[in-house]
Amino acid sequence: MRATLCCVIAILAYAMAPTAVAQQGHPLVGVWLGDWGPSASDRHQVVLELTWMNTTLSGTVNPGEADETPLKVAQLNSSNWTVHLEGDSKDASGKPVKVVIDGQIENLGSAKRSLTGTWTRGGTKGPFKLTRE
């Protein structure tokens, strides 16, 4: 009887393992890595860290860097999975620079989903692509 019970538990654990790995919570939560820039030769590496608490999206851009930007506006439209993020960063001289990120989640069901769209930092605008790690 014990051997049968152990076999059943082992089979259930094996069958449920892919399901347990696939469950990752909210589609935006986590660390997103990628780059943005106005051209193919002018790219900037970025890290976006997002959290979701009840109904509130929040996070930071470039966590750990000198110009870390806490998000002041973080909105998700779940009908089409678009995102609007805003924060205030600083330029090299310390003056405030507004950062605006408008994107859409791609490959929503994938663990390696991506976020693509338009990134604006001050007067510079360009496409971005981030992948959730």
Q: pLDDT digit of tens for each residue in the chain (133 aa)?
A: 555 544 445 454 555 444 444 445 678 899 999 999 999 999 999 999 999 888 889 999 986 666 788 999 999 998 999 999 999 988 888 888 999 999 999 988 888 899 999 999 999 999 999 999 8
Contact yes or no for 61/89 (Cβ under 8 A) = yes
How far is Cα 22 from Cα 107, in angstroms, rounded to an integer? Answer: 13
**Does residue 114 lie within any of the structural domains?**
yes
3-state helix, strand, coil in the chain (%, to 5): 15, 50, 30
| pTM of the predicted protein model | 0.78
- The whole-number pLDDT of residue 106 equals 93
The domain containing residue 50 runs over which residues? 25-132
Q: Is 120 strand, coil or helix?
A: strand
Please state the domain count of the chain. 1
**Does residue 86 lie within any of the structural domains?**
yes
